[in-house]
Chains A and B, each alone.
Chain A
Amino acid sequence: MLGLGILKGFMETGRNFCGSYYDPERLTTVQYPEERLEPQANARTIPFLIYDGSDPIGGLRCTACTICEQECPAHCIEIVKDTAKKPDYLGKMQLHPKVFDIDTAVCMECGICAEVCPFDSIKMDQVFERAGSHRRLTLHKDDLSKSNEYYNKIHPAEAAAVDAARAEEQKKAQARKAAAAVPATP
């Protein structure tokens, strides 16, 4: 019968309409900004730099090795190395960045910088409400610097693994140092 298909279709839309009052499967709209979804543990937006301790600039893990600068597909990272060296968590003398800029207008949030960083220094943030009345789209070192506690809060599992690996390395380095400090028996 002509029109039967249309009637069947109307029944479907009717079912969906009625379902939208009680069935959570069909009630999918989230009333943002009043309601918010918890971000997924893996979610990523722009990168940030991690610091240890309490000094956001002095405690940066970044050693200005420029691997992320070279690997960034959009070339949005700019690093200028400082000339002075400081000891890192293993006691090795390392350079530090004098300038670390990320042009977030260019950054495509792919996460390759975090993937290639050998010092676990650059990680992916979860802030997404970055609109503002300013034009400051290039983020500098002090904007990017965030604490390790923050990292632990947004990516708990990943951060715990990183912290454990770093603690292990530190222990090994200390053991090596202690072994070197003991003078060989004459």
Chain B
Amino acid sequence: MNAPPPPLAPTGRSQTAGDLLEVSMGPHHPSTHGVFRMNVVLDGETVVKLTPVFGYLHRNHEKIAEKNSYLGSIPYTDRLDYICSMTNNWAYVLSVEKLAGIAVPERAEYIRVIVGEMTRLFNHACLAGFLLQDMGALGTPLMYAFREREKILDLFEALSGSRMMCNYMRFGGCRCDLPEGWPEKAARIGAGFESFLDEFEALLTGNEILRARSEGVGVLPRELAVNSGVTGPGLRASGVNYDIRKVDKYGIYDRFKFRVPLGERGDVFDRYMVRILEMRESLMILNQALHDLPDGAIIDPKVRLRNLRPKAGEAYGRIESPKGELGFYLISDGGPIPYRYRVRPPSLINLTVLEDMCMGHTIADVVIILGSIDIVLGEVDR
């Protein structure tokens, strides 16, 4: 008689035992804002372990840029954080300008500030909308935010020809001048945004459900935020006064009056509130920049867009993108293509503290904690 077959070895690599449950959230989960996966270990509803898994949207951005000319990488940077293409352009051209020692005309600097702050406006508005959608407010806040965003995207289309993939900035300035009547339209939309923010806050900030869901949830302690390299609104919500616009004063940011809103507790509500307040400061910068906008050249006529060959050396340019510190590290060997091209993506580095923030909260809170970090998977995975 044949012996009975031995029992099958357990499949998979689940490290959980007993009452713990391992759940794979994503990559196609609507709350993950893209293709992002979290391996969550649950005790009942409480998170005891969380492992982020990313790389589903990896597109070889850095390696492609090391085969393209300096000019050819600008449209690729649009696609990093595909919500804020203007600030991505800005960070990249800033590092090329540092590398090649190119000066930027006054008018171009002002236009960069204007479009950069507009990007911050709609990024934060959409983030608040997405966050509320994650909390269960399906549609309404997000649609209001998108309605305002469309107005700014219309402006971007009139300026650069494309709504989201603007490809607008060039080393030494910007690609084309403002169309006729653009600054007036921008000022009008800026004023409209002010009243939209009042409306948005009346809708959301005092809402008891929002406060109950977000206060005390996902606390990021100050020390941990600093030690893990978190930047942007997430860091400032934890009470650290660190804004690269103030620290570096890149471009012409030393000419504008604005405050840096800070949070106290570093929970989801603080991260939401810091963004709302930042939008108000952005509007102030926008108004000042539109008011002072000088005439003049839009791009340094001596700069070579094609066949730019910076001297051998290295440069790191960084800006305060809406999500945090966005930096580009470039090494040139004197040739027409960068020898090394490296992106310092704020989304990826802000994501590293996800497990610490989620520990001990319920699985429903994981969704809003992730939403409050403000990630875009195009930038996380590159």
Interface status of B147 (Cβ within 8 A of chain A) = yes
Hey, which chain A residues are within 8 Å of B79, CB to CB?
108
- Which of B78, B167, B192, B204 meets A9, CB within 8 Å? B204
Interface status of A4 (Cβ within 8 A of chain B) = yes
Say whether A111 contacts B150, CB under 8 Å. no
Interface status of A16 (Cβ within 8 A of chain B) = yes
Interface status of B248 (Cβ within 8 A of chain A) = no
Q: Quick one: closest B residue to A155, CB to CB?
A: B161
Interface residues in A1-29 by Cβ distance below 8 A to B read 2-6, 8-9, 11-13, 16, 25-26, 28
Q: Quick one: closest B residue to A114, CB to CB?
A: B161
Interface status of B176 (Cβ within 8 A of chain A) = yes
Say whether B161 contacts A43, CB under 8 Å. yes
Interface status of B362 (Cβ within 8 A of chain A) = no
Interface residues in B297-329 by Cβ distance below 8 A to A read 305-306
CA distance A71 to B204 in the complex (A): 48
Say whether B306 contacts A116, CB under 8 Å. yes
CA distance A110 to B79 in the complex (A): 11
- Which of A16, A42, A112 meets B144, CB within 8 Å? A16
Chain B's interface size range is 35 or more
CA distance A122 to B244 in the complex (A): 40
Hey, which chain A residues are within 8 Å of B231, CB to CB?
none
Hey, which chain B residues are within 8 Å of A93, CB to CB?
none
Q: B-side binding surface: helix, strand, loop or mixed? A: helix
Hey, which chain B residues are within 8 Å of A109, CB to CB?
162, 165
- Which of A3, A26, A42, A71 meets B208, CB within 8 Å? A3
Q: Quick one: closest A residue to B163, CB to CB?
A: A43
CA distance A111 to B168 in the complex (A): 10
Least Cβ–Cβ distance between B161 and chain A, in angstroms: 4
Hey, which chain A residues are within 8 Å of B76, CB to CB?
73
Say whether A71 contacts B179, CB under 8 Å. no
Interface status of B294 (Cβ within 8 A of chain A) = no
Least Cβ–Cβ distance between B65 and chain A, in angstroms: 9
Q: Quick one: closest B residue to A44, CB to CB?
A: B161
Interface residues in A65-97 by Cβ distance below 8 A to B read 67, 71-73
Report which A residues bind B (CB closer than 8 A): 2-6, 8-9, 11-13, 16, 25-26, 28, 40-44, 67, 71-73, 108-112, 115-116, 124
A5-B211, A9-B206, A110-B78 known; 13 other A-B pairs, CB under 8 Å? Answer: A8-B202, A9-B204, A41-B179, A42-B158, A42-B176, A67-B306, A71-B71, A71-B72, A73-B73, A112-B71, A112-B74, A112-B75, A116-B306
